[in-house]
Amino acid sequence: MAILELVQPQPDWMSALGVALTRPPGVPERRADEDPWSPAGERPRRISDDLAWFRQALDDPAEAGLKPLDETATVAAWESADGELVARLSRLDARGILDAAGFLLHDPDPALL
């Protein structure tokens, strides 16, 4: 079970996008030697795809598998036990995108990842 908590009055999507578009230290440009006209093989998911998914998930939390937590002292909080959802949130957290947007991810269960 993981709990997602909004710790600011509203999400800061521009800061989150800025972090998502910044390449992590030591990671080479992925498209440097690619031919854009030849078909690409299987590519790993881009972190910006996860950020876009996250924004949509907050627009309709129930559809995304996020259950709102009521009667908390936070601005907003959701919980989820969905493994794919927790894995996406964990990737966003590891890259600092959740922090930049004003969210904290609590206790992601390693068995779900």
The angle that helices 13-20 and 47-59 make with each other, rounded to 10 degrees, is 160
Q: Which residues contact 110 (CB under 8 A, 6 or more apart)?
A: none
Decide: residue 33, CB within 10 A, 0-12 exposed, 13-18 middle, 19+ buried: exposed
Please tell me which residue, 113 or 48, carries the higher pLDDT value: 48
Closest by CA position to 12, among listed 68, 75, 73: 75
pTM of the model: 0.76
Q: Over range 19-36, report the average pLDDT.
A: 74
DSSP 8-state secondary structure symbol assigned to residue 67: E
Residue 35 confidence (pLDDT) above 90: no
pLDDT of residue 32: 58
Q: Over range 15-38, report the average pLDDT.
A: 76
Please tell me which residue, 67 or 34, carries the higher pLDDT value: 67
* Strand bridging mode 103-106 / 76-80: unpaired
